[in-house]
Amino acid sequence: MNNTFEVHKMNYLNYLVAVRNLSDNSIRAYRHDLEMFDDFLDSEKLSFDNPGPRNVRSFIGNLARKNLTESSINRVISSLKNFYKYCVKYDILKVNPFSHVRSISGRRKIPDVLSFNEIDMMIKMTRNDFAGIRDRVILELLYSTGCRVSELADMKVKDLDLKKRMALVNGKGGKSRWVFLTKGTAEEVMLYLPLRKRHLNNSVSSEVTSLILNMKGNGISSRGIRFILDKYIRAIGVNKHVSPHTFRHTFATDLLNNGAGIRAVQAMLGHSSISTTQVYTHVGIDRLKDVYRAAHPHGR
């Protein structure tokens, strides 16, 4: 391990926490990417302050040979580009060796989405005890708001405004945004809150703990929510790639297919870049193509 690199790596990760206010998941990703590069430097007997263009190309080639996806390779490139940008900004180095490295281009995969019937099937599978009603609230909130699983895990009771059917979400980079609840979702949350209060671990305040509790009465983790969602996804037996994040894809796609503007959807999803939201327009375009082929006399 390069000791100098290790020092600057740790300082950079602390900077991302203290200044950039990035989430734990983002910090883990940065740490992983920097450690991959550290391993490469060790194997090539290089210092972090002098990799040349040839070394950088060799590193990226190694990533490709590991069968990483284009998006994963691009994330590593972005992580290292930002790390070296930090080093230049704070006079640690004079040159960013990744400044001229471009992201790998490729066709962006259109995400799978759930149908209304598939979501309805999952909701109908829930029981009417505490765990079942809590699960129903999880399903309803994810589809109603489009928030990330990590954002739902972080949501507090005080973040809810059930009269206005709104919730405050703390997103990536410490950016907050308001999301909206359907009437049915708000009703499920109101049914859940008294059960939650009785189930809550009495050692913590009701208002500042997580809205969603685990069976021990403590705030649930992102992993805990994913475990619950996976159970319902498996139960309906869908023949496509579905993950907890699919609820977010479905939320965005349904909004766009029903006339919402892309800027509005971007704001509701908390995307910093419109290009991230644009992938969902392709889903809508594919749907329009199907309608065209079915309806136009020469469409077939």
The CATH architecture to which 116-292 belongs is: Orthogonal Bundle (1.10)
Q: What SS3 class is residue 183? A: helix
Q: For the chain, first and last CA: distance in Å?
A: 61
According to DSSP, the residues that pair with 180 across neighbouring strands are 166
pLDDT digits (tens, 9 = 90+) for 206-261: 555 889 999 999 999 999 999 999 999 999 988 788 888 889 889 988 888 788 88
For 254-281, b where at least 16 C-beta lie within 10 A, e where not — what string? bbbeeeeebeebbebbbbeeeeebeebb
Q: What is the CATH number of domain 3-89?
A: 1.10.150.130
Per the CB < 8 A criterion, the answer to whether 79 and 30 are in contact is: yes
Q: Where are the alpha helices (DSSP H) in 107-200?
A: 116-125, 130-145, 149-154, 183-199
CATH 1.10.443.10 placement within the chain:
116-292
Could you tell me the pTM of the whole model? 0.62
CATH 1.10.150.130 placement within the chain:
3-89
Which residues are known catalytic residues?
148, 172, 245, 248, 271, 280
Q: Are strands 160-161 and 176-180 parallel, antiparallel or unpaired?
A: unpaired
Give CA–CA dist 83/96, Å, rounded: 9
pLDDT digits (tens, 9 = 90+) for 9-25: 999 999 999 998 888 88
